[in-house]
Amino acid sequence: MKAINVGLCGVGTVGGGTATVLQRNANEIARRAGRPIVVKMAANRDLARAKELCGDDVIITDNAMDVVNHPEIDIVVELIGGTTIAKDVVLAAIENGKHVVTANKKLIAEYGNEIFAKAQAKGVMVAFEAAVAGGIPVIKALREGLTANQIEWVAGIINGTSNFILTEMRDKGSAFADVLAEAQRLGYAEADPTFDIEGHDAAHKLTIMSAIAFGIPVQFDKAYLEGISKLEAADIKYAAELGYRIKLLGMTRRRENGIELRVSPTLIPAGRLIANVDGVMNAVLVKGDAVGATMYYGPGAGAEPTASSVIADLVDITRLHTADPEHRVPHLAFQPSAMANLPILPIDEVETCYYLRLSVKDLPGVLADVTTILAEGQISVDAMLQKPAGDSAEIVIVTHTAVEKNVNAAIAKIEALASCNGKIVKLRLEHLNG
């Protein structure tokens, strides 16, 4: 049977891994796909590296558009990254009637609507399993495996750099800056770590999962982002005393009036499986009405784990290469004509539980003032810690479910008390109990 010819655009970490695994497991992949899948052409700035990884039988070029325009290429694999050249390559490939596989979460989160509309019009497929959580097949789970369910919420630890930092802060009691420096030394964090530690990377991935879970357009610009750079070791310690662990959590939830879409440091009960996902590992927890809570765990990055997802997409497209375009699995799980126009809720409308840490003067009646303000804001206290600190005391409060704007209003009132020392630390808390 005629082979499917693949054009690799980008032969970096993931591109090299893809070429290696396709060659090593060629027979097994052909058995699953029904025909061989071969790299016919590759584009990379470093021609010598591309030749070394892809072999002498592969046409090598330094211009990705050569791949896109080659008449014998069936599937273009975009592993360039970013949203400039990569976007041009993907749109040109679609225009030329070629299927596309990409690991580019930023491209899909920010331009997915445009890309999918063009692919639909041209009758080609765009697959992006590797764009979310590396080697974990969570996109396939959401698009296909859980298709019988109404998804209620999706929660994910989906940035390995931040998860490594938080794990080290918890285990060693170290300050954020010290652990970040260690992560950079080990190669887990970039020289400029902003994209990871401030939640951008996780929000790109969460935006994609939210669109698939709820059948809405990708709307990264409406996601709420809060990173871990201001997190203090004291809060990780107090959370542990109360039975919680702090993770950078991506959370998207269906509500009656819209969809929550947020990334922030979040307390999770220590007994939950997802709270015990440590180091650079990733995990996604999905709650469906029929199946309940299911968890997907594994490496969120790396050459061969991510290549595993890229090649799974290649196999899927190969199997469906000749299928009627109207009856393929839709890009965002729902038929394009059935997409919902649900709003993304502003962060003020979020409903969750909260962790509050405040320093107050150690005087009679102070705690009563604080709890009165919370009660007036319809905020119920679930647990409390009090720690002496000289003439002051540190109070840690965990609330039951409350609306964020009510919590913010109560915080402003408490901070205005003469007995309150400085700003209050606020973190969100999710029980994730299904």
Residues annotated as catalytic (active site), given as ranges: 205
Question: Please, are residues 241 and 385 in contact by the beta-carbon 8 Å criterion?
Answer: yes
C-beta neighbour count of 63 within 10 angstroms: 11
The answer to whether 388 and 366 have CB atoms below 8 angstroms apart is no
Q: Are 9 and 87 in contact (CB under 8 A)?
A: no
| CB neighbour burial string for 69-102, b if at least 16 within 10 angstroms, e if fewer | ebeebbbbbbbbbebeebbebbbbbbeeebbbbb
Which residue in the block uniquely carries the two structure tokens 């107050």? 360
Give the DSSP letter of residue 2. P
Q: Is 245 exposed, middle or buried (0-12, 13-18, 19+ CB in 10 A)?
A: buried
As a whole number of angstroms, the distance between CA 118 and CA 95 comes to 8
1 neighbors 69 (Cβ within 8 angstroms): no
Tokens coding 270:
């220590």
Spell out the residues 6+ positions from residue 231 whose beta carbon is closer than 8 angstroms to its own.
Answer: 166, 169, 176, 246, 265
Q: Which neighbouring-strand residues pair with 285?
A: 155, 295
| Cα atoms in the 13 Å half-sphere on the side-chain side of 413 | 16
For residue 334, CA distances in Å to 180, 205, 328, 338 come to: 40, 18, 11, 6
> In angstroms, rounded to a whole number, what is the distance separating the alpha carbons of residues 129 and 136?
8
Who contacts 57 (Cβ-Cβ below 8 Å, separation ≥6)?
Answer: none
How far is Cα 430 from Cα 262, in angstroms, rounded to an integer? 12
Strands, E assignment, 29-158: 37-43, 59-61, 75-78, 99-102, 126-127, 151-157
